[in-house]
Amino acid sequence: MRIVIASGKGGTGKTTLAVNLAYLLAESRQVILADLDVEEPNAGLFIRGDQVLHEDRYKMIPQWKEDACTLCGICQGVCQFHAVIQLGTMIMVFPELCHSCHACSGLCPESALPMVPKKMGTLTHLRTGNLDFVEGRLDIGEEQAVPLIRQTKQYLDDHSPDGAIRLVDAPPGTTCPVIEATRDADFVILVTEPTPFGLHDLKLAVLTMREIRKSFGVVLNRYGTGNDDVLDYCREENIRVLARIPHDRKIAELYSAGKPVYQDVPEARRSLDEIVSWLDETWGKKAL
């Protein structure tokens, strides 16, 4: 069972939900939580565990072999991302811009641009009790999130404990990193808040989920503030609202200190229980 927790807008409580749901589920089952918001990974701030792995992650980039190069210029013509340019008698490669498509390397008639690994970030794996936690973290200035998301997912496929539920904290927004984080999900939880910003960004997220044909439900966070427009929208669009987490300053305070909230805020606990029991009913005890 693979559940991705996403949101159109940032700061709606995506990470809070992912972390708390993971802890709660881990009380009785095997869980692996992954932070795929590689530009700003935050779930790790809430997890203490033993380090299973911490390693650098690489992507492949071309490396110029000056002695083999005839300066024919094909490489810079091929690269759609301006990651390879010719400066006078020099070929320069810009690792942050490279999409690792191999085109320049493969099409170089002199084999003067072999592909070599270049660090783009790190991957960390922690374990505490039934809970495994995996984080991808992009280096600052690295512009391509997708390759690291892809590698982190591959790691999850290879290293998830048998029968573990996979929970994923996705990047915010609706562009390619979200698609990559979401594409192999069985179910997507969209977290939003009952404000005009929340509604507007939820609509975009819903369009995206429909575009990639994912089944999804909504968790309404900070319920009680703002207005009922999100609920009305979900009703009109036939979108299941899995839970309403009440607006409570205490949650913001606990979150700010990097603490799980459900043990101290009974209403939050109740909302999480609702989500779990719905998932149980719908996807079956076995899947969960």
In this chain, which of 27, 56, 253, 280 binds other proteins, going by CB under 8 A?
Answer: 253
Secondary structure of residue 114 in the 3-state scheme = coil
Q: Would you count residue 39 as binding other proteins (CB under 8 A)?
A: yes
Concatenating the DSSP letter of every residue in 189-225 gives EEEE-SSHHHHHHHHHHHHHHHHTT--EEEEEEEETB
DSSP three-state, residue 13: coil
Among 195, 231, 233, 269, binds other proteins (CB under 8 A): 195
* Smallest separation, CB 52 to other proteins (Å): 22
109: left (phi over 0), alpha (psi -120 to 50) or beta: alpha
Under DSSP, is residue 30 helix (H, G, I), strand (E, B) or coil? coil
Question: Which of the ranges 49-57, 65-73, 122-130, 256-264 carries the binding residues for other proteins, by CB under 8 A?
Answer: 256-264
**Cβ-based neighbour number of residue 161 at 10 Å:** 12
Stretch that binds other proteins, among 7-15, 121-129, 161-169, 260-268 (CB under 8 A): 7-15
Name every residue whose Cβ is closer than 8 Å to that of residue 14 and which is 6 or more positions away in sequence.
Answer: 5, 6, 7, 169, 170, 172, 191
269 near other proteins, judged by CB under 8 A: no
User: 216 has which bridge partners?
Assistant: 188
By CB under 8 A, tell whether 231 contacts other proteins. no
CB closer to other proteins, 89 vs 238:
89
Kindly state the smallest distance separating residue 50's Cβ from other proteins, in Å. Answer: 20
Please report whether residue 86 would count as binding other proteins according to CB under 8 A.
Answer: yes
Of residues 73, 163, 258, 284, which one binds other proteins by CB under 8 A?
258
Q: Which is nearer to other proteins, 107 or 273 (CB)?
A: 107
List all residues 6 or more positions away from 105 whose beta carbon is below 8 Å from its beta carbon. 62, 113, 114, 115
226 is a site residue for other proteins (CB under 8 A)? yes
| Site pattern 91..110 for other proteins (x: CB under 8 A) | -x-x-xx-xxxxx--xx---
Nearest Cα neighbor of 87 from 71, 106, 103 is 71
Whole-number Å distance between alpha carbons of 79 and 145: 19
Residues 6+ apart with CB under 8 A from 248: 265, 267, 268
Contact residues: other proteins, CB under 8 A = 8-13, 15, 39-40, 42, 45, 78, 80-83, 85-88, 90, 92, 94, 96-97, 99-103, 106-107, 138, 140-145, 171-177, 179, 183, 195-197, 200-201, 204, 207-208, 211-212, 225-227, 249, 252-253, 255-258
